[in-house]
Amino acid sequence: MKKTAVLVILFIFPIVAYIFFASGVNHFGKLPILTERVGNIEDISPAETLEDKITILGFLGRDVAHKKGNAFNLNEKIYKPFYRFTDFQFVMVMPMGTEDEVADLKAELGALGEDAEKWKFIFGNEQQILDLFNSLKTDLSLDDDLSTPYVFIIDKTGNLRGRNDDEDEGTKYGFNATSVAELNNKMTDDVKIVLAEYRMALKKNKAIEK
């Protein structure tokens, strides 16, 4: 009996725990849609799209050097664990004129050990950036340099996902990239939920096809 109990603790329980956490299910439900059909990034960069992608959308603003810490936090806590998923991407919306600084930032991200290919930076004018941000319909705002520390989860149909019962904020539209704790304790879980939703849908469709 003791050997059986040890085996359960050592092998079975970790597997069950892994399945539970890997499923990304928080509160045993889907991550709510807070805004339907946000503006598409194709209006800024025709080569890129939010369609059929799970996107982490951010606005780093004109002062790229002072936002590197946010980017590195996101790279370590969100990009690194999830970038291997085929339909996952980061999109940072940048003001025109920051191209050289962004090239340096992307090189630094790539030097951290992961392929930075899914870090995508698009460049727009002030009105384009404001229009896209305002389409999120959040209770947040951009700073004067067109930046915000918050990043947003956009699903494959272009909907903003977030929390409508967050214990701290009530409705939570975005995640503060300056806070490693928030990325660890909230955003990671919520990204898992959205990824799990599409994995389960994919498995269901494959089962139907068979």
Domain boundaries, the chain: 30-209
Homologous superfamily of 30-209 in CATH?
Glutaredoxin (3.40.30.10)
- 71 within 8 A of 107, measured Cβ to Cβ: no
> In this structure, are strands 147-154 and 175-176 parallel, antiparallel, or unpaired?
antiparallel
Which residues are CB-contacts of 33 (< 8 A; sequence separation ≥ 6)? 155, 159, 160, 161
pTM of the model: 0.84
Q: Average pLDDT of the chain? A: 87
Query: Could you identify the residue written with the tokens 């229009």?
Result: 131
pLDDT score of 113: 82
Q: What is the mean pLDDT of residues 101-123?
A: 94
**Lowest mean pLDDT across 13-22, 107-116, 128-137, 138-147:** 13-22
pLDDT digit string, tens, across residues 155-202: 999 999 999 999 999 999 999 999 999 999 999 999 999 999 988 766
Q: Which of 23, 21, 34, 20 is nearest to 166 (CA)?
A: 34
Angle at 63 between CA 57 and CA 69, to 5 degrees: 65
pLDDT digit string, tens, across residues 119-137: 999 999 999 999 999 999 9
pLDDT score of 202: 62
Q: What is the mean pLDDT of residues 34-63?
A: 96
